[in-house]
Amino acid sequence: MFPCLVKSCISLFSSHVQVHPGTEVRVIDLYNNMSSLKPMWRQVTDFRKAIDSIMTNAPDGIHLICFSQGGLICRALLSTTPSHNVHAFISLSSPQAGQYGDTDYLKWVFPKHLKKTVFTFCYRRFGQKVSVCEYWNDPHHRFQYLQNNNFLSMLNGDIHHSNIKAWRENFLRIRKLVLIGGPDDGVITPWQSSHFGFYDSNENVIEMRDQEFYRKDTFGLKTLDARGDVWTCTQPEVKHVQWHSNYTVFMRCIEKWLT
């Protein structure tokens, strides 16, 4: 069984059922469209409530496929749930290291802002009530990010907090972390964020293993990697809205982890 956090994953499920007939599939349909801008921790709480009963009824474990912002919600859920029984966490084009870029999506959320000015809204108290602001990671305003961000900075262990050890232990309960993304996504910026890569202050992309949160192993990523339980898949020529309906992505990047 594997829940997915967006309604549009139904097309992906159809592929899965054909390959693994008899598998029970659940789609968690919450916070669609404008509701996705609600605070991240509120969404994490409500998704946890929805998944708790699924995990209880699947004592042998479940897989999670989580798309886009849903990938961050899933990771936060895993980090804050001590008794979860998730085997494979499949992050499908999700800004795991944050978001920073001028995209059509940004213009939809912030029509009067460019990427260089979004921090003036996001790194304020009211800005931290908008989901995208809670993982907006401006490499030119690191101090403001660390001072004001209340979601990604905690999840990645960029700031120390009282739950950091427990969250790390919870996250390490997963058996496999699958990170999927590609250079033609058009929304996740940089696209390498889907693989935990991100910009430095000069907007050069620093890959996962050179990130501070990896080197310090703040939330368990380095430990997972040392166990051989981190797998990345890069697929070109896939736009952001196509990941969950692309059969090649399913067969090349996902199918093998669902047994």
Contacts 24+ apart (CB under 8 A), 56-63: 58/1, 58/24, 58/85, 59/85, 60/85, 61/85, 61/86, 61/87, 62/1, 62/2, 62/3, 62/86, 62/87, 63/1, 63/2, 63/87, 63/88, 63/89, 63/90, 63/257, 63/258
Q: Would you please indicate which residues are annotated as catalytic (active-site) residues?
A: 68, 185, 240
Instruction: Using alpha carbons, list the distances in angstroms from residue 33 to 6, 143, 221, 228, 243.
Output: 10, 31, 31, 36, 17
